[in-house]
Amino acid sequence: MTTQTIAFLNDAFLPIEEAHLSPLDRGFTFGDGVYEVIPVYNGRSFCLDAHLDRLNQSLNSIRMQPPYSHEKWTHILDTLVKKNGAGDQWIYVQVTRGIEPKREHQFPTQVIPTIFAVSYPKVYLTKAEQAKGIRVTAVTDIRWKLCHIKTASRLAYVLMNQEAKEAGFDEGIIMNTGYALEGTISNLFIVRHGVIYTPPKSTQLLHGITRDYILGLAEQHKIPYRESKISERDLLKADEMWITASTRPISPVIEFNGHTIGNGKAGPMWDRLWDLYAGQVNNLSMSVSN
């Protein structure tokens, strides 16, 4: 028997089949909204405050007021996770500028946001499964200039990701003027001579929560890292390469553009960071299989 998925829509919990949105919602007509994806381990949201901080930053960037406090969001999302069976899940949250009676480019005079959230079961990969690695390719940047905002307007990312998938790769690495910025659904890291490198924060890439968490672990354990530009040559000469994302924390890359990275296997730095990440998750009474 299939368990019914519960969603949250505008202050109400209801079955996902009953969560109806107006075609006049600006999230539909303009992609005028922002979103977050939050991992859940053993019924507990991971780095929730950091995700909510970024949600508020994205809202402020598109000139919207955050609809709820962190405390109210925490109550809503904890309740949602419980209603959907707890365990390992992932949460999707989206806030749009709401419905207007007539499609106009300028903001509506009265903004009543549409607030939506849903969570789904998630089987997180074990360390052994992750260690098999993924293959990535370069894709040309076709995005707008404010990529640090986690906007619901995702068409450019969809097209770049599809380009990589149709070429037979697991992910695309976005290149702009010869430098790597991030993946189409991930942040990027390489390792050279025992030092971790990742592109610096800017308007050209999303400031990933998992990215920052990994750098925090590196700093805590005195692992050298640098935030600096990464060229295509740097990628080809990397000893290790990884991508990070909320629902796939640290994925080793074994091939870039048909070129083998390192020895074609997950490297020792990835192995160490995976264990540190999993240890932190387990310390918070969450579950990550090793």
- For residue 259, what are the contacts with CB-CB under 8 A and spacing of at least 6? 236
Q: What is the dihedral of CA 119, 84, 121, 207, to 10 degrees?
A: 30
Pairwise CA distance, residues 111 & 97, whole Å: 6
Q: Identify the band that residue 282 occupies on the pLDDT scale cut at 50, 70 and 90.
A: confident
pTM, entire model: 0.93
- HSE at residue 130, side-chain half, CA atoms within 13 A, is 25
Could you read off the pLDDT of 140-156 as tens digits, one per residue? 999 999 999 999 999 99
Least confident of 186-190, 195-199, 250-254, 280-284: 280-284
What's the rounded Cα separation, in Å, for the pair 12 and 8? 6
Q: How confident is the model at residue 185 (pLDDT cuts 50, 70, 90)?
A: very high
Residue ranges of domains in the chain, CATH in brackets: 7-121 (3.30.470.10), 127-283 (3.20.10.10)
- Which residue among 127, 150, 222, 237 is the active-site one? 150
Is 165 an annotated catalytic residue?
no
Comparing C-alpha atoms, which of 200, 190, 181 is closest to residue 143? 181
- Please list, in sequence order, all residues whose beta carbon lies within 8 angstroms of the beta carbon of residue 189, skipping any fewer than 6 positions away: 196, 197, 198, 211, 214, 241, 242, 243, 244
Q: In which band, very low, low, confident or very high, does the pLDDT at 200 lie, cut at 50, 70 and 90?
A: very high
